[in-house]
Chain A
């Protein structure tokens, strides 16, 4: 029977004001009949205790209290407590900081002799007990140069060390996240680009894509709208597919984001809060992406979110407020100019339509205006004074734009120790749109947890909840900013909205009324969660299993008021609700084996399996005819005219096996082989499975003897890869002949017809992307200058083309594996440290990408015409031998002069009309006269960033550039081609043709009713090149001495300005634009786009 606990667990009361340990032991003996035995001379009388009061305490606890710090140990042996002297250990204490004395929390101290590692606490301090001896300490921290120290410690000796780590320049031991794992950067054989969370923090951006813009070579981000929650498009290494998505696959902490069709072409990634991101890795070449097989063709973006800490609790706050305004304006006419054009147009009406003019079909504007004079008795609004001068001169751009105020607050609580970490991250964002009436707010919460429960078992998980709401402006609301005529007010003095279309001859509803009364709310709840367990069978072999989900629920709530002209007036108010849920579930198992064989061979292998299902359900209902605007969309039952409602569901599933082997010989020769076997329900039985392999080789030339100690070259790596990846993101059920429902009407009631819908293609299979990459990584002058360059060529084959088919079949299109598209390009990332001293450093980064896209093969070589541009001509063309995003249109030669009247007549035109090139010389301007005008894809793009650090100040300047693409500025269709005061116009219309001004490209002003020409032509096509001052930031880090006295770990304040200049010939708001979300439908066209504001940002980051 074990009685040991019984003695030490006895409880008693003792109380002393001042005594020594000997007395205490004696009292315990008396009160409990416990015997003490002494083996050494312990000097118990010298251990003094004061003011101690034990109430019902265990003997064990009392002894612990007495001896804890006095090198005395005790243990129970057969009912007797043995006391003995403990040999006092030596102690190593110290503090680890960087060159600026900023403590490096979490830095690692490894004792080479014992193999044990310790980490520094939040203040960079450590304290390690060791037996006497001589030890080698290796002190290291991510992206700092390792320091080695040798120390000799005697018993009971305390040695104090102050260790300063220098920042490693382009450190090669940096760890990079790759698909299903991490790798040392030096071991990577593929093309992978990274962005750290610290970089993201510098930008007051709404979503992840904006943060990536211009950041990584080969990643082309089109931040195409300034609307809060606008949806930027990312293309990695060019476009791969005509009909299929060109979006990369996003993987957040191993969870593949949902790719179902969401409202307004949004994507789950739009809702992920960028402040919680630790790092972003972009996988570009086949070696890196093939592990994602059928979903890797467009590249993969891996996002790692912030986690808990291993060094105790922290509270951090990051927040900023930004103020924005729209600095670029279109040069539009004022009231007098507008009226002048109207007069001129009327005077010219006779020339263009003598018959109609004779019959009085054209009203003299002076007569028309008189109906709107002050005091008119016709019930018309008052727009002119007695002398017919306009009463209003509204600048609709001024009315539409506002100074925005945006705030973003992020609060994080992290904690943990060596075995367990947890973190809670909360964000609130409230963003104003630059155009009144649009806004976004977002609440985001993240919790992550991981614990090493047993030496062999680690379990963890995370849940990310984002709730975002946006108020959107669409269609007319943006167009009317430019189209509304200046003689109309926003509201009349009595407070009623001006009906901007009441002035005969003009079109365009009141922009401000639309912004106010066309309520479009989009609400999104995005949940991203995973739980996992890792079982270490041996130190070399572990198994990881994970269940994950990305669940999205979106709700669109629209209400357009009873009295909004052109929109909902006819219907007496339109309320509509639609909701969709999109859910992805993922179950994955992964085996990882790492081993070293001898000194030379290193092996890292994984084998995995994945199951994924994704489903989508949506429903919608709309009701017309409301009693009152009060109800909005909150009580559809009050509408008098319910419309047919709808719903739809779809589901797909994927099953996959994958594996990867990384082998390294002497750390010099690297081999990566990857393969993924995918099965998808999107394809018919005969083509359900696809295999996507890749292989890559790397050679660390600088590890070879002939370079190892080279003075200039500190690192040189060559690598190359080749592999296949797939793209399968087509709509579900395309391989079978789906039937659709048709709403038939019989006798004023609805009958559902079932008829053809989808054309079956049982041969449908995977789109395959073949990519070859060759890369060089070179570091010179002790890593002061680093260059990484990649050359690639990739070809999509068996392109999943939504091919237009002869309509005589009854079908419009079919998905078929037709055609090839190629991209080749060069990527360059250059970073240099021209100055690097403790007090002053300068870092400069340039990244630059060149890409050439070419459509290599289409079905029968036939062109595909896409989209309808303003003016009813083709939007863009896909043609073999051309870049996928090419513009087709007419050549505007100018205007017909009086001398050319006869020639113009052959084209049914008169002098003053636009003169287009008759390309085929057939005497008529038809679609056959269209030529290829240019392309929407840029030749090159990138960014140039300089960061200066001086003492506690840092300054960074970020310039973004893009060149070689065109933008079709389709707004010209209304702003310049309509030269007859049908809506407001660009001031350039003042340069319209007149007999005195015949050398102009702008047609003579004339009423719209006599006709006018408007086509996608060379005059509309604008150069999309630009240089943008994206960010200029000045930051100050409070000195560590000052803040540590206040128990603050770090404190930083900064001020920045974003989008602070834009150099571009483009006449619209922003050349980085694409008004249409469909891939390539209208090239890069702009039609009523939402401008991007210039921002001033003030921010504060603090960590406790």
Chain B
């Protein structure tokens, strides 16, 4: 009877009978990458990454019924029950859980030690990346470093101090740095360049809010960013078009990306969200869910190439049925991630999403160098590389304060709608004022369309469902 009643799943392994071969180690690490994708997709009910875009006050939306979430963030009326925050939380913790399994199980697998170390390095980088997002979005979060089951103490975890989370992030990245990873990866795997770039960014954030560790960490950030610059393995693209070309993915300016592919996991969701609603320019139905507030586009300096038509933004496009017939949108929309190929012929976008660009590393370097040593020549050199590509004159002779704001302004203009701006706002507790061109305090800053930021919005609410299911959690203030 026992035999008759014992069945095992022919379609899936269990954690008891897996993790025995080198291929298993590889597959365990590959699984960790998948959750990078979850927040980037998009459908008629929106996409999680829009959360930070709308909360930064730079986005307009076509208020379709199925994306009401966008309005609540745009108007700073969001509450713990929003699906975007839950999407971040759920996908990132699943990625962390998969990393925890890999980090626990791979050491016991008999295999090539070099490959083993590299795989463990990738797992640690990804775990750090997920935690880095979580700690910045939600503040104190559960810190889980081992696989969890029903009987684990950490099944109902408490929130860990923010500092502890950053310590884990730094230690994971430092381990990854010594794992023997190649400096670049055309396949889009974690590379040493990615590890160092992320570490530079982490140090920069640690120097700012909420840890406020100051100069020591600006120094660390500067040095780490300089390692990337000096490695000379990455460079800025000549043309902004390369940012939205499949042919230039995982190389050049792109240091680390979320991988999409039209045949495996397409990225039509991104197009669907960005293409204007009701404008028949594409076979992909646009929802126009995120487009710039006009004041932001107008805040670029005169002559900034990025604000010109069909660089970062566009206001018209040829009709899908007849490209010679130009459709005017009546407002600027985001062209930075517009997949020409998908819109003109293939219909299906396989465009990657950049997580770390060399442009950001340069700006990190410039900012950190300025904080440590003032606007040095090297700092100017980094900043002016970005400006030069935008067809803007080199800056020179600025005070430390003015240079600082110049770098920030460049971050706003260069990294817009790229899932970066809100994190800068939270780290700096400053917001770019579109009317004055200066930087306001975060608390009290009024968006051009009305709502005013309060200290509540320095963090997003812990998802309501998580609070319901884990009574050891507390909610962030104000939610």
Contact = CB atoms under 8 A, between A and B. Distances in A.
A501 B13 CA distance: 47
A744 B30 contact: yes
Given A737-B149, A747-B250, A808 B260 contact: no
B428 interface: no
A872 B464 CA distance: 14
A759 B14 CA distance: 10
B232 interface: no
Interface stretch (A109-117, A1003-1011, A1052-1060): A1003-1011
Given A679-B1, A749-B264, A808-B470, A732 B7 contact: yes
Given A572-B347, A688-B5, A744-B34, A754 B24 contact: yes
A35 interface: no
Contact of B9 (A650, A814, A1008): A650
Given A650-B9, A742-B31, A756-B97, A379 B322 contact: yes
B466 to A, nearest CB: 6
A644 interface: yes
Interface in A703-752: 732-733, 736-752
Nearest to A805: B469
B325 interface: yes
A926 B79 contact: yes
A1014 interface: yes
B239 interface: no
Contact of A743 (B86, B98, B147, B265): B265
Contacts, number: 272
A591 B79 CA distance: 64
B365 interface: no
Interface string B78-106: 01111100100110011011101100000
Interface stretch (A241-249, A258-266, A294-302, A863-871): A863-871
A759 B152 CA distance: 12
Given A736-B14, A806-B466, A651 B7 contact: yes
A871 B68 contact: yes
A753 B31 contact: yes
B263 A641 contact: yes
Contact of B465 (A378, A737, A804): A804
Interface stretch (B168-176, B184-192, B389-397): B184-192
Contacts of B16: 736-737
Contacts of B268: 570
B54 interface: no
A361 B331 contact: yes
Interface stretch (B58-66, B222-230, B308-316, B431-439): B58-66
B347 A756 contact: no
Interface stretch (B277-285, B380-388, B403-411, B415-423): B277-285
Interface residues on A, range: 35 or more
A814 B93 CA distance: 16
Interface stretch (B69-77, B109-117, B355-363): B69-77
B14 A739 contact: yes
A808 B65 contact: no
- Most chain A CB neighbours (cut-off 10 Å) among B69, B81, B154: B81
Given A655-B1, A739-B13, A753-B32, A810 B81 contact: no
B146 to A, nearest CB: 11
Contacts of B6: 681
Interface stretch (A342-350, A425-433, A502-510): A502-510
- Most chain B CB neighbours (cut-off 10 Å) among A810, A870, A924, A1008: A810
Given A738-B14, A761-B150, A871-B68, A566 B469 contact: no
B27 A865 contact: no
A807 B90 contact: yes
Interface in A795-821: 804-812, 814, 816
A807 B188 contact: no
B27 A754 contact: yes
Contacts of B331: 361
Interface string B457-472: 0000001111011110
B470 A806 contact: yes
Contacts of A669: none
Interface residues of B, number: 102
- Most chain A CB neighbours (cut-off 10 Å) among B68, B77, B152: B68
A629 to B, nearest CB: 16
Contacts of B186: 747
B347 A1009 contact: no
Nearest to A651: B7
B155 A809 contact: yes
B81 A754 contact: no
Contacts of B34: 742-744, 753, 755
- Most chain B CB neighbours (cut-off 10 Å) among A652, A756, A870, A1012: A756
A1046 interface: no
Given A648-B11, A752-B27, A681 B68 contact: no
B5 A746 contact: no
B65 A870 contact: yes
Contacts of B94: 755-756, 807, 810-811
B283 A649 contact: no
B449 A738 contact: no
Contacts of B464: 865, 927
Nearest to B294: A359
Given A643-B263, A756-B15, A810 B148 contact: yes
A504 B144 contact: no
A502 B471 CA distance: 50
B341 to A, nearest CB: 13
B120 to A, nearest CB: 16
A745 B260 contact: yes
A738 B12 contact: yes
A742 B94 CA distance: 12
Contact of B285 (A504, A570, A733, A812): A570
Contacts of A502: 280
A807 B93 contact: yes
Contacts of B250: 747
B18 A745 contact: no
Interface in A533-572: 565-566, 569-572
Interface in B178-197: 186-189
A874 B468 CA distance: 14
B207 to A, nearest CB: 28
Given A748-B350, A750-B264, A806-B470, A973 B65 contact: yes
Nearest to B24: A754
Contact of B325 (A379, A680, A868): A379
Interface string A908-950: 1000000000000000101110000000000000000000000
A30 interface: no
B68 A747 contact: no
A505 B278 CA distance: 7
Interface of B: 1-2, 4-16, 18, 24, 27-34, 45, 62-66, 68-69, 71, 75, 77, 79-83, 86, 89-90, 93-94, 96-98, 100-101, 141-142, 144, 147-150, 152, 154-157, 186-189, 246, 250, 259-265, 268, 278, 280, 283-285, 294, 321-322, 325, 330-331, 347-348, 350, 449, 451, 463-466, 468-471, 473
Interface of A: 355, 359-361, 363, 378-379, 501-502, 504-507, 565-566, 569-572, 611, 624-625, 641, 643-644, 647-655, 679-681, 685, 688, 732-733, 736-757, 759-761, 804-812, 814, 816, 860, 862-863, 865, 868, 870-874, 908, 924, 926-928, 973-974, 977-978, 982, 1008-1012, 1014
24 contacts: A361-B331, A565-B285, A566-B285, A570-B285, A641-B263, A648-B11, A650-B9, A652-B7, A733-B8, A748-B246, A752-B30, A753-B31, A754-B30, A754-B31, A756-B147, A760-B150, A805-B155, A805-B469, A807-B89, A807-B466, A808-B154, A924-B77, A982-B65, A1009-B63
Given A740-B12, A927-B81, 15 more contacts: A680-B5, A741-B12, A743-B264, A747-B186, A747-B259, A750-B263, A751-B30, A752-B27, A755-B34, A807-B90, A807-B466, A816-B150, A862-B469, A1008-B65, A1011-B71
